[in-house]
Amino acid sequence: MQSLMNAELKRINTMSRKLLLEKAHVEGIRHYDVYRREGGYRSVEKALKMQPNDIVEEVKKSGLRGRGGAGFPTGMKWSFLAKPDGVPRYLVCNADESEPGTFKDRYLMEFIPHILIEGMIVASYALGSNNIYIYIRGEYDWITDILEEAIAEAKQNGWLGKNIQGSGFDCEMYVQRGAGAYICGEETALLESLEGKRGNPRIKPPFPAIKGLWGCPTVVNNVETLAAVVPIINEGAEEYAKIGIGKSTGTKLISACGNINKPGIYEIDMTISVEEFIYSDEYCGGIPNGKKLKACIPGGSSVPILPANLLLTTAKGEKRLMNYESLSDGGFATGSMMGSGGFIVLDEDQCIVKHTYTLARFYRHESCGQCSPCREGTGWMEKILLSIEKGKGKMSDIDLLWDIQRKIEGNTICPLGDAAAWPVAAAIRHFRDEFEWHVNNPDKCLTENFGLRHYADPIHVPV
C-alpha cells in the first residue's frame, strides 16, 4: 500500500509529463526550422561530443524498453551488436506499424518526423552505423513523403551526410516502403523484405545483432524507441529513469481506440491506473452513451484480452496500472501485456466471439505460410470461430479451438504464431460462457448479444 501511495505522490509530481509529444502541437513543428527553434537536434550536438559506448551505457541506465511490443531493454539490445572489423553495421527503424489498434508511430512520424530522425542519428552514432534504413508500412505512403522531406531538410542543415557537424561522423538515411504485409513487422522478415526478398521471417539464431541486413550486424528498433533516445540524451538517463515505476521507465505512447469518448494518442508516464486512463477526461474520457466496460485489449491485438474486472484490478485485488509489470501481473492466467500500446476498449454491446473471429481472420490473412502450424492452424481457427459466430458451432469446437491454439503457440518460427494463438486462448479462458451461449443459442446469437453479464463483477480475492 505504501508503495502505491508513493507512486501516487510521484505521479502528481510528474503528472502529464510529456517527452515525445511535448511540442507536437506547435505550428510547423513538422519542418526543420520550427523544430530546431524549439530545441531540436540538441541531443545530436550533445551525443557527438560523447563516446559512442557512453551513449549505449546511458540508454542502458535509462531503463528504456523496446516500444514495439516485446519490451526488451534497448540498451542491452544495443550492447549485443557484434562489431567485427571491416564489416558495416546497420541501424534499421521498424516503422511497419501494422498491429490492429496500434497507430502511435504513425502519429509521431506524421507530426514530428524530426524527433525520429534526431533519435536515429544519435543511435546510429552510438552503434557505429553509417547507414540507417526506415522500413515503413506500405499503407503509410503519405508519411513516406513527410519523412523524405524531413530527411532532406536534415541533410541540408548538416545533420546527415558526410562529416556531420564537423564531427567526422558520416551517416545516410533511407526510407523504404513495405508492400502491405503485417509479417514484415517481424524484424527478420523486415530485413528479408528490405533486401528485396519475400518477407519470410528467418530462423533464429543467428539474431540480427550478429547477422542482420545483408549478413551484417544490425539493430532493429521501433520508431517510438528511437525517438525516446532524444529525451534520454537531452535530460540524462537518471532524469529519464525517474519517470515511471520500477522497470517501466519513461513515457509511453498509447493509441486508444474502440468504445471510448476520446480515441487518440496519449503520452503517459506509466504511473496512472487503467481505470483512470479509460475514465478520466484527460485521457479516453469514458465510454460513450453511458455504456459499461466489458473488455479491453491493452496492448495491441496480439496480447490477451481481459474482462473489465481483471482489467481494472489484478487477481490480487490491486489497482492495475498502465505499465509493463502491472499489465502483465498474474501472467496469462489473469493478466495481459503492455505490448505495443494499442489500447482497444470494448463496451457491453460487443460480442467477444465475433471480435475474436475478426482477429483470427486477420492473422490467417497475414500468416506468411512458411511454417505449418501457423499456416494451417490460423485458417482452421478462423473457420471454427466463424461457425460458432454464425450459430453453427458445437460444444466440442471450443475445446478444439483451445487445442489448436495450444499446438500453434511456441511451435512456430516467429512470434506471429503466438500472436495468433494468444487472443483466441484469452477469449476462451475469460469468456468461455459467451462461446457456450453461442453454441446453445444458435438462433438467438444471430440477433442478440450476450451482453455484459458478470464480466465487470468484482473478483473475489482470497485473503
Partner 1 sequence: MSEEIKTIKITIDNITIDVEPGTTILHAARRIGGDVTPPAMCYYSKLEGSGGKCRTCLVEVAAGSTADPRPMPKLVASCRTNVMDGMVVKNITSEKVTDARNGVVEFLLLNHPLDCPVCDQAGECHLQDLGYEHGKASTRYQFARRTFKREDIGPYIQLHMTRCILCYRCTYVADQITDKRVHGIIDRGDHAAISTYISKAIDNDFSGNMIDVCPVGALTDKTFRFKNRVWFTKPVDAHRNCTTPGCCGKATLWLRGDEVFRVTARKDEWGEVKSFDGKTGWICNTCRFETKKTESWTIEGLSNISRHSVIGTNKYKTLEMPKETIKEVMHGVEPKLLMDIHSVSEVNNPTVHLSDLNRSAHSSDFKK
**Nearest CB to partner 1, comparing residues 122 and 184:** 184
To which H or E segment does residue 186 belong?
A: none
To partner 1, the closest distance from the beta carbon of 375 in angstroms equals: 5
Residues in the site for partner 1, rule: CB under 8 A?
A: 181, 183, 198, 203, 364-373, 375-380, 383, 400, 406-407, 410-413
To partner 1, the closest distance from the beta carbon of 186 in angstroms equals: 13
**Nearest CB to partner 1, comparing residues 259 and 378:** 378
Cell of 405: 491454439
**Nearest CB to partner 1, comparing residues 87 and 203:** 203
Nearest to 93, CA basis, from 267, 213, 214: 213
> Cα 250 from chain centroid?
15
**Nearest CB to partner 1, comparing residues 296 and 360:** 360
To partner 1, the closest distance from the beta carbon of 299 in angstroms equals: 21
**Nearest CB to partner 1, comparing residues 206 and 286:** 206
To partner 1, the closest distance from the beta carbon of 112 in angstroms equals: 34
Distance CA 129, CA 460 (A): 54
**Nearest CB to partner 1, comparing residues 79 and 411:** 411
Distance CA 368, CA 39 (A): 43
To partner 1, the closest distance from the beta carbon of 176 in angstroms equals: 19
To partner 1, the closest distance from the beta carbon of 213 in angstroms equals: 17
Q: Are the C-beta atoms of 411 and 388 separated by less than 8 Å?
A: no
Q: Are the C-beta atoms of 317 and 461 separated by less than 8 Å?
A: yes
DSSP conformation letters of 261-316 = SS-EEEEE-S-SBHHHHHHSTTTT---GGGPPEEEEETTSTTSPPEEHHHHHB-TT
Distance CA 63, CA 400 (A): 42
To partner 1, the closest distance from the beta carbon of 317 in angstroms equals: 30
C-beta atoms surrounding 79 within 10 Å: 15
Distance CA 298, CA 327 (A): 8
To partner 1, the closest distance from the beta carbon of 202 in angstroms equals: 9
Q: Are the C-beta atoms of 44 and 172 separated by less than 8 Å?
A: no
**Nearest CB to partner 1, comparing residues 37 and 198:** 198
**Nearest CB to partner 1, comparing residues 58 and 382:** 382
DSSP conformation letters of 8-41 = HHHHHHTTT--SSSTTTTSTTTTSHHHHHHTTTT
**Nearest CB to partner 1, comparing residues 85 and 403:** 403
Distance CA 52, CA 125 (A): 6
To partner 1, the closest distance from the beta carbon of 374 in angstroms equals: 8
List, in order, residues 6 or more apart from 379 with CB less than 8 Å away.
364, 367
